[in-house]
Structure 1
Amino acid sequence: MTSYRRLGISVVVGALLGVLCIIGVGARIPGQYSNVIYLTAVWYNRVIMGLMVGFAGHVTIIKSENEKNYVNAIVRGLIIGLIVSSATLLLSDTLPLDWLGWFMGLVYGPIIDVIATATDKQK
Structure 2
Amino acid sequence: MIDKKLKVSVITGALLGVICIIGGGIRMGFSGNGLYLFALWYNRLIMGFLIGLTNMKPGITGLIKGGFLGFIISLAFYLSTGMTDLISFIAGIIYGVIIVAVARKFE
Task: Please identify runs of 4+ aligned residues in structure 1 that moved more than 6 A.
Answer: none
Q: Structure 1: where are the runs of 5+ without partners?
A: 61-68
Deviation at 1:30, TM superposition (A): 3.5
Match of 1:83 in 2: 72
**Identity over aligned residues, as a percent?**
37
Q: Determine which structure has more spread, i.e. the larger CA radius of gyration.
A: 1
Q: Does 1:103 align with 2:90?
A: yes
| Distance in 2 between residues matched to 1:70 and 1:25, nearest whole Å | 32
Residues 1:24 and 1:3: Cα distance change in structure 2 (over 3 Å):
same
Residue 22 (structure 1) aligned with residue 25 (structure 2): no
Give the number of equivalent residue pairs. Answer: 107
The 1:28/1:119 distance shift into structure 2, 3 A limit, reads: same
User: 2:12, 2:70 → 1: CA distance?
Assistant: 14
Deviation of 1:3 after TM superposition, in Å, equals 6.3
Which deviations, in whole Å up to 9, do the C-alpha atoms of 1:19-72 show, x marking residues without a partner?
00001111111450x21111000000000000010000x255xxxxxxxx1312
- List runs of 5+ in structure 2 lacking aligned partners: none
RMSD: 1.7
1:40 counterpart (32, 38, 46): 38
